[in-house]
Amino acid sequence: MAAGSTSPNPPVGAVIVSPSGEVVGEGYTQPAGGAHAEVMALKDAGSAARGGRAIVTLEPCNHQGRTGPCSQALLAAGVSRVDFLFADPSPVACGGAETLRNAGVDVHGPFLPSPSHVKPWTPLFSVEPWLRSMALGRPHVTVKVASTADGRIAARDGSSQWITGAAARRVVHVDRSRRDAIVVGTGTAIADNPSLTARREDGSLLPNQPLRVLMGERGLPADTALFTGDAPAMHVRSRDPHAVLAQLSEHGVVDVLIEGGAGVIGSFIHAGLVDAVQLYMAPALLGGGSAWIDSPQLGGSMDDIRRFTPRELTTAGDDVIWRLTAPI
């Protein structure tokens, strides 16, 4: 539930288990400046946390920022054991595990030292984009594509609605709500006029709305859909993927979703800036039309091939959702 609302902080979840093995508290990171997951879970557990066990996505933080150190909150609550999945790579916040161990708490972790240690077909964790962003020193980038089985995103006449079904589109909107920003190029904005909002089936907005980003040098009318409504929007007047990510980073963006078009996707792939691909594939063939990658710098030889690791393969209605991640 934290994903999409916490940046630049990581979306973390925590559970408190009583000495008898009962789950007595749950919590997740609040928007930046709010309480961290451990504090929320301890508040939910109350006195039942004493002598219990905390299970956390990320190593408890160990610094005083806008909130206090989670390591100290766990000690004050009397937790006897802490398990955590990933180590905190932040030089400012790390060290919570050592503090807890030195205070006599039984600490276990990290179970997964970094995203690069995650095995193929392991489901994605919401904190992974933040971890990769920390490792790479820039926002994490996911390319999202809805295509036919032969890789087409539009017919020759430009029509593209709808390739995938309603169930897959519902998944897309939930995923949008978990991202910090969605990027499209001016060509896509002109051709499709997308709003880029995260919506329910009835058209109402989901609670978390990503920053809608137009990438490109051309100006567009103020009534362009992605500039209207209550969701935030910005125009980055550049075709350089590095420049776009730099500007987004200045706005506290950690997790970026690229929704097209093919030229924008190609430019990010050519620049080596794609960390994940989320492919929604319909069981259909079009035989012609637009492919989802278009780059004059790619495909000249097999030296241009980009290898990814398969991480998840699921379905939504009749469509397949395939999630791939790039090596760090």
199 is in an annotated binding site: yes
61 is in an annotated binding site: yes
Catalytic position from the list 38, 59, 201, 312: 38
322 is in an annotated binding site: no
226 is in an annotated binding site: no
217 is in an annotated binding site: no
160 is in an annotated binding site: yes
Strand 53-58 with 290-291, pairing: unpaired
196 is in an annotated binding site: yes
DSSP 263-327: HHHHHHHHTT---EEEEEE-S----SSEES---TTS-SSGGG----EEEEEEEETTEEEEEEE--
Tokens 């610094």 belong to: 63
222 is in an annotated binding site: no
188 is in an annotated binding site: yes
For residue 90, what are the contacts with CB-CB under 8 A and spacing of at least 6? 61, 134
38 is catalytic: yes
Alpha helices in the chain (DSSP H): 37-45, 70-77, 96-102, 128-136, 166-177, 186-192, 241-250, 262-270
Q: How would you class 123 by CB atoms within 10 Å of its CB: exposed for 0-12, middle for 13-18, buried for 19 or more?
A: exposed
162 is in an annotated binding site: yes
261 is in an annotated binding site: yes
Residues tagged active-site: 38
Would you list which residues are annotated within the binding site for substrate? 160, 176, 196, 259
Would you list which residues are annotated within the binding site for NADP(+)? 146, 162, 188, 192, 199, 261-267
Would you list which residues are annotated within the binding site? 36, 61, 70, 146, 160, 162, 176, 188, 192, 196, 199, 259, 261-267
Would you list which residues are annotated within the binding site for Zn(2+)? 36, 61, 70
